Amino acid sequence: MSIINGIANAGHVITDPVGFILQSLIGLLGHLISTARVDMTGVLDRFLFRTVDPTVSGNRPITANPNLASLNFGMTLAVDALIGLVVLLTSMRSIFERSMRSKYDLKVILPRILLAVVLSHSSLLFMQMAIDLNNALDGVALSLGGPLNADTLPWSPSMAPETIARLITGQDLFQVVLVIALMAAVAILVLAYVIRTALLNILIVTAPLAALLSVIPDTRTHARTWLRLFTGTVFMQVVQLIILRVAVTTEFDSSGGLITTVYALATLWLMLKVPGAMNTSTHLESKAHTMFHGLERSAKHAVMPAHHVTHPPHRAT
Kindly state whether residue 9 falls inside one of the protein's structural domains.
Answer: no
pLDDT, position 5: 47
Kindly state whether residue 114 falls inside one of the protein's structural domains.
Answer: yes
Q: Give the number of domains in the chain.
A: 1
pLDDT, position 3: 47
Kindly state whether residue 115 falls inside one of the protein's structural domains.
Answer: yes
Q: Which residues of the chain have pLDDT under 50?
A: 1-13, 16, 18, 20, 306-310, 316-317
> Residue 262: which residues within 8 A CB-CB, separation 6 or more?
178
pLDDT, position 33: 64
**What pTM did the predictor assign?**
0.75
Kindly state whether residue 315 falls inside one of the protein's structural domains.
Answer: no
Are the C-beta atoms of 55 and 65 separated by less than 8 Å?
yes
Kindly state whether residue 79 falls inside one of the protein's structural domains.
Answer: yes
pLDDT, position 103: 55
Sign of CA dihedral 292, 293, 298, 301: positive
Are the C-beta atoms of 269 and 185 separated by less than 8 Å?
yes
Distance CA 56, CA 58 (A): 7
pLDDT, position 32: 62
Burial per residue of 284-312, b for 16 or more beta-carbon CB atoms within 10 angstroms, e otherwise: eeeeeeeeeeeeeeeeeeeeeeeeeeeee
Kindly state whether residue 310 falls inside one of the protein's structural domains.
Answer: no
Kindly state whether residue 68 falls inside one of the protein's structural domains.
Answer: yes
Distance CA 301, CA 230 (A): 36
pLDDT, position 249: 86
Angle at 246 between CA 198 and CA 149, to 5 degrees: 55
pLDDT, position 308: 47
Kindly state whether residue 3 falls inside one of the protein's structural domains.
Answer: no
pLDDT, position 83: 84
Residue 87 belongs to domain spanning? 17-50+61-305
Chain center to CA of 78: 28
pLDDT, position 27: 59
SS3 312: coil
